[in-house]
């Protein structure tokens, strides 16, 4: 048996700013928070009532995300439908978030899966996608997966 992903931990520069983004814009639920100086963190869960953390934010970063360093490439968040992807897209646009591609794009040419690609307040690359519904959406590259190069 291979292990399953339990939760993802992200280092952030400003916990309050990142918590507002992940909670208020993306809809995660705050499960627990550490407010002690030099030990600030937030455990976030899904909005379906499951009490397990799926994302943790640690206020430990001294600078923005660096895509040129080893470590997290991007965080992909799956939803059930392309309509849900578009709902998130509208909410993110309302917050002034910039996107790597215009609108919903396919994961590769002819793929049924696809989504939106953007960055969090610290520059961490994020993707919200649906496994189906992106048929006919453009693919930024003919040969490389969209999520690999943004």
pTM: 0.92
Residue whose tokens read 């030990």: 39
> Residues 116, 99: contact at Cβ < 8 Å?
yes
Report pLDDT digits (tens) over 59-91: 999 999 998 888 999 999 999 999 999 999 999
* Catalytic residue (choose from 33, 67, 78, 127): 127
| Known active-site residue 89 | no
Nearest to 52 by CA among 4, 115, 122, 124: 4
> Residues 119, 86: contact at Cβ < 8 Å?
no
Instruction: State both tokens at 72.
Output: 């997290």
């Amino acid at each position: 048996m291979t292990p399953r992903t339990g939760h993802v931990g992200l280092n952030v520069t400003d916990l309050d700013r990142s918590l507002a983004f992940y909670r208020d814009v993306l809809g995660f639920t705050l499960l627990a928070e550490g407010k002690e100086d030099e030990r600030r963190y937030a455990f976030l869960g899904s909005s379906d009532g499951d009490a397990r953390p799926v994302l943790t934010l640690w206020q430990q970063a001294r600078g923005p995300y660096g895509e040129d360093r080893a470590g997290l490439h991007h965080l992909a968040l799956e939803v059930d439908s392309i309509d849900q992807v578009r709902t998130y897209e509208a909410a993110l646009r309302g917050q002034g978030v910039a996107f790597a591609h215009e609108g919903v794009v396919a994961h590769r040419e002819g793929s049924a899966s696809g989504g939106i690609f953007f960055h969090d307040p610290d520059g961490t690359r994020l993707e919200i996608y649906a496994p189906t519904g992106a048929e006919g959406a453009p693919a930024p590259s003919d040969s490389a997966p969209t999520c690999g190069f943004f």
